[in-house]
Amino acid sequence: MSTGERQSPGWEELAAAALEVRRRAYAPYSGYQVGAALRVRSGRVFTGCNVENATYGLTVCAERSAVLQMIAAGEKDPVAVVVATRGPVAAAPCGMCRQTLAEFAVDLHIRLIAAPVEGEETPTPRDTSLAELLPQAFRGDALA
């Protein structure tokens, strides 16, 4: 995806928000903190972090947390999201998060970043789209 294809969704602002909320993640079991910052067409930004639970199935991922905030605020048109993880590779959203995001926007622009790890080089951000990460997404129109 070239940077000239579309107007910038404010990657720097979204990255800063995703890194900030990542610090507040509750991850006592995995130690793997994730933050997400999602911009909607109106320009508003919604953030979320992962919240783990001793019964792992109740864990909420950062991306889904941001989507919940978006819906609670009455918005439904996401255009870009930054996901901030940690490690040698900027990780992509899990399958459940991809499907949740696809409920609202298949052509969502995604930037994946990794928080700096002391003593290591920060991985280069990766740009992709939800359509690339989840081809042939299951959508509500399949239920008709």
pTM: 0.91
Query: Annotation-wise, does 81 bind a ligand?
Result: no
CATH number corresponding to 11-138: 3.40.140.10
Chain centroid, CA 107 distance in Å: 14
Query: Annotation-wise, does 56 bind a ligand?
Result: yes
Query: Annotation-wise, does 94 bind a ligand?
Result: yes
Instruction: Name the pLDDT band for 122 (thresholds 50, 70, 90).
Output: confident
- Ranges of each domain in the chain: 11-138
**Taking the alpha carbons of 97, 102, 105, 109 in that order, is the dihedral positive or negative?**
positive
Query: Residue 7's pLDDT is what?
Result: 57
User: Which residues are catalytic, by number?
Assistant: 63
Residues 35, 91: Cα–Cα separation, whole Å: 11
- Cβ atoms of 26 and 52 closer than 8 Å: yes
Collapsing DSSP states into helix, strand and coil, what is residue 130? helix
Chain segment 36-46, per-residue pLDDT in tens: 999 999 999 99
Query: Annotation-wise, does 52 bind a ligand?
Result: yes
Residues 45, 104: Cα–Cα separation, whole Å: 15
